[in-house]
Chain A
Amino acid sequence: MRKIHDFHGGVHPPENKHQSVRTAIANAGVPEELVLPLSQHIGAAAQPVVGVGDKVLKGQLLAAATGFVSVPVHAPTSGTVSAIEDRLIAHPSGHSAPCIVLASDGMDQWQDCVATADYRSVDRVALLDQIRSAGVAGMGGAGFPTAVKLAVKPEKHIQTLILNGTECEPYITADDIIMRERASRIIEGAQILAYLVEPDEIVIGIEDNKPESIAALQAAAQDTPVEIAVFPTKYPSGGEKQLIEILTGKQVPSGGLPADIGVVCQNVGSAIAVRDAIIEGKPLISRVVTVTGDAVAEPQNFEALIGTSMSYLLQKAGYQPEKNQRLIMGGPMMGFTVPDPNVPIVKTTNCILAPAATELPAPPPAQPCIRCGMCAEVCPASLLPQQLFWFAQGKEFEKAEQHNLFDCIECGACSYACPSNIPLVQYYRAAKAEVIQMREDAEKSEHSRLRFEARQARKEREEAEKEAKRAARKKAAQEKARLAAEQGEAGEDPIQAAIERAKAKKAAQVAGSGAEGGSELEKLEKAVVTIRKRLETASAKFEAAKAEGAEHVDALKLGVDKTSAKLAAAEKALHDWQQANPAANSELPSAAEPADAAQAAIQKAMAARAQDAARSPQEKAQDNLQKLESRLTKSEARLQQSRAANEEEKIIIALESTVERLREKVAAAKAELQDKETC
Chain B
Amino acid sequence: MSLMRITSPHTHGPARTSKVMQQVLLATLPGLLVLTHFFGFGTLVNVLWAAVLAIAFEALALTLRKRPLGFYLSDCSALVTAVLLGIALPPYSPWWLIAVGMASAILLAKHLYGGLGYNPFNPAMVGYVVLLISFPVQMTSWAPPRGAGELPGLLEALQACFVPASYDAVTMATPLDLLKQNNSLLVEDLWQANPQFGRWGGVGWEWANIAFLGGGLWLLYQRVFTWHAPVAMLATLTVMAALFYDGGSSASGGSPLFHLLSGATMFGAFFIVTDPVSSAVSVRGRLVYGALIGVLIYLIRVFGNYPDAVAFAVLIMNLAAPFIDQYTQPRTYGHTRHGGGS
Contact = CB atoms under 8 A, between A and B. Distances in A.
Contacts of A429: 7
Contacts of A122: none
B333 A425 contact: no
Interface in B3-46: 3-13, 15-17, 19-20
A382 B330 contact: yes
A170 interface: yes
Contacts of B11: 13-14, 170, 332-333, 360, 416
Given A253-B341, A368-B117, A387-B281, A92 B7 contact: yes
Interface string A315-355: 00000010001111010111111111100000000000101
B50 to A, nearest CB: 20
B65 interface: no
Contact of B9 (A341, A381, A425): A425
A418 B277 contact: no
Contacts of A407: 332-335
B156 interface: no
A429 B8 CA distance: 11
Interface residues of B, number: 46
B334 A417 contact: no
Given A337-B3, A372-B276, A251 B333 contact: yes
Contact of B332 (A254, A325, A339, A421): A254
B193 interface: no
B341 A417 contact: no
A526 interface: no
Contacts of B13: 11, 13, 416-418
A255 interface: yes
Given A382-B332, A382-B333, A407-B335, A339 B3 contact: yes
Contacts of A376: 281-283, 330
Contacts of B3: 325-327, 337-341
B115 interface: yes
B180 to A, nearest CB: 35
A415 B277 contact: no
B323 interface: no
Contacts of B75: 367-368
A241 interface: yes
A152 interface: no
B334 A387 contact: no
Contact of B281 (A330, A353, A386): A386
Contacts of A332: 8-11
Residue among B9, B117, B281, B340 with most chain A CB within 10 A: B9
Residue among A256, A355, A367 with most chain B CB within 10 A: A367
B71 interface: yes
Residue among B1, B11, B325, B341 with most chain A CB within 10 A: B11
Given A372-B20, A376-B282, A384-B282, A256 B334 contact: yes
A419 interface: yes
B332 A370 contact: no
Interface in B117-171: 117-118
Given A11-B13, A13-B13, A365-B71, A371 B333 contact: no
A306 to B, nearest CB: 22
Contacts of A416: 9, 11-13
A8 to B, nearest CB: 7
A512 interface: no
Interface in A405-422: 407, 412, 415-421
Nearest to B321: A371
B3 to A, nearest CB: 5
A636 B81 CA distance: 80
B250 interface: no
A374 interface: yes
B329 interface: yes
B116 interface: yes
B5 A335 contact: no
A416 B9 CA distance: 7
A338 B335 CA distance: 35
A62 to B, nearest CB: 29
A337 B6 contact: yes
B333 A241 contact: yes
Residue among B4, B325, B331 with most chain A CB within 10 A: B4
Contacts of B340: 254
Residue among A14, A254, A332, A365 with most chain B CB within 10 A: A254
A253 B342 contact: yes
Contact of B341 (A14, A254, A365, A371): A254
Contacts of A321: 1
Given A362-B6, A412-B8, A368 B281 contact: no
Contacts of B312: none
A674 interface: no
A377 interface: yes
Contacts of A380: 333
Contacts of A665: none
A646 interface: no
A149 interface: no
A326 B279 CA distance: 39
B225 interface: yes
A470 to B, nearest CB: 57
A331 B108 CA distance: 45
B281 A370 contact: no
Contact of A368 (B118, B325, B334): B118
Interface string B253-284: 00000000000000000000000110101110
Contacts of A362: 4, 6
Given A256-B341, A376-B281, A382-B331, A333 B8 contact: yes
Interface string A72-110: 000000000000000000001010000000000000000
A8 B10 contact: no
B230 to A, nearest CB: 14
Contacts of B341: 253-256
B194 interface: no
A363 B332 contact: no
Contacts of A338: 3
B226 A373 contact: yes
A606 interface: no
A253 B9 CA distance: 26
A365 B74 CA distance: 13
A219 B7 CA distance: 40
A515 B10 CA distance: 94
Contacts of A658: none
A590 interface: no
A94 B6 CA distance: 11
Contacts of A377: 226
A567 interface: no
A457 B9 CA distance: 54
A97 to B, nearest CB: 17
A14 B13 CA distance: 9
B10 A328 contact: yes
Contacts of A387: 281, 325
Contacts of A534: none
Contacts of B1: 321
B15 A374 contact: yes
27 contacts: A170-B11, A241-B334, A253-B334, A254-B332, A254-B334, A256-B334, A332-B8, A334-B8, A335-B10, A337-B3, A337-B5, A355-B10, A360-B10, A362-B6, A367-B17, A368-B118, A370-B77, A370-B277, A372-B224, A372-B276, A373-B225, A373-B286, A382-B332, A404-B332, A415-B9, A417-B13, A419-B17
Given A377-B226, A382-B333, A426-B7, 6 more contacts: A321-B1, A326-B10, A337-B7, A370-B17, A374-B15, A382-B330
Interface of A: 7-8, 11, 13-14, 92, 94, 170, 241, 245, 251-256, 321, 325-328, 330, 332-341, 353, 355, 360, 362-363, 365, 367-374, 376-377, 380-384, 386-387, 403-404, 407, 412, 415-421, 423, 425-426, 429
Interface of B: 1, 3-13, 15-17, 19-20, 71, 75, 77, 115-118, 223-226, 276-277, 279, 281-283, 286, 325, 329-335, 340-342
